[in-house]
Structure 1
Amino acid sequence: MTDRPRQAPMPAALRAGRPPRHPALTVRCPHCAAAPDMRCTTRTGRARIQRLDPCPARLAAHATATACCTTCQSAPGYDCHHPDGTPAPVHDARYTEAKGTAA
């Protein structure tokens, strides 16, 4: 056995092969209440099987917090809306903009 500490950092050679973290992990998940930088969980508290796919609600929260909607002109931090001013779900264009700001 070696005298390595239990909480040794992961070697860079192993870390290089890991997939990149999803940018939506920077916000708290409104569905499962996962903290920022933590993976989303299921109803029973286990980590989601799809490691790279956060909850849809977390994706929407990330898009709302970081991107301007090109469909309804909502600023970052404000929800999307219909032309008559009623609330709307997050537009697809806003998801696209959120992906562009993360890259």
Structure 2
Amino acid sequence: MTQPRQATMPAALRQGRPPRHPALGVRCPHCAAAPDTRCTTRAGRTRVQRLDPCPARLAAHATAVAVCPTCQVTPGTPCHDDGIQRPDSSPVHHRRYQEAQEDAA
């Protein structure tokens, strides 16, 4: 009995893959995933949402690459509210996330 031949993936399907999220370029401070690897769950499994890194990784990426229009800090400097560090629940201003997305596009 012969085995069926394996078909190659059509080029149209290969090119249709969603782009890599720019936040994957930094180490995740929450799950410790290395740059260019996907985030993991507490059990060590790869997160199901392929294009949705951990929120902490999104914040780390925005902090690393974007100027914050709200508090006027430079890339690499954490956001603040009138000199007071922002809480861990929302460490980055919403507009800084938007700036990071625009820079990646």
1:87-98 residue pairs with structure 2 within 5 A? 87-88=85-86, 89-98=91-100
Q: Which amino acid aligns with 2:99?
A: E
TM-score, normalising length from structure 1?
0.86
**Letter matched to residue 100 of structure 2:** A
Deviations 1:56-88 (A, max 9, x none): 0000000000000000001000000111x1101
For 1:45, what is the secondary structure of its paired residue?
A: coil
State the TM-score, normalizing by the size of structure 2. 0.84
1:15-51 CA-to-partner distances (Å, cap 9, x unmatched) read: 2011001000000000000000000000111000111
Q: How many residues get paired?
A: 96
Bigger CA radius of gyration: 2
Query: Alignment identity in percent?
Result: 70
Q: Does 1:44 align with 2:47?
A: no
Letter in 2 for 1:52: L
Q: Distance in 1 between matches of 2:74 and 2:10?
A: 39
Point out where structure 2 has 5 or more consecutive residues left out of the alignment.
Answer: none
- The 3 A distance-change label for structure 1 pair 12 and 65 is farther
* 1:21-100 matches, cutoff 5 A: 21-83=20-82, 85-88=83-86, 89-100=91-102
- Distance, in Å, in 2 between the alignment partners of 1:101 and 1:61 is 15
CA distance in 2, matches of 1:37, 1:12: 25
SS state at 1:63 partner: helix
Q: Which amino acid aligns with 2:27?
A: R
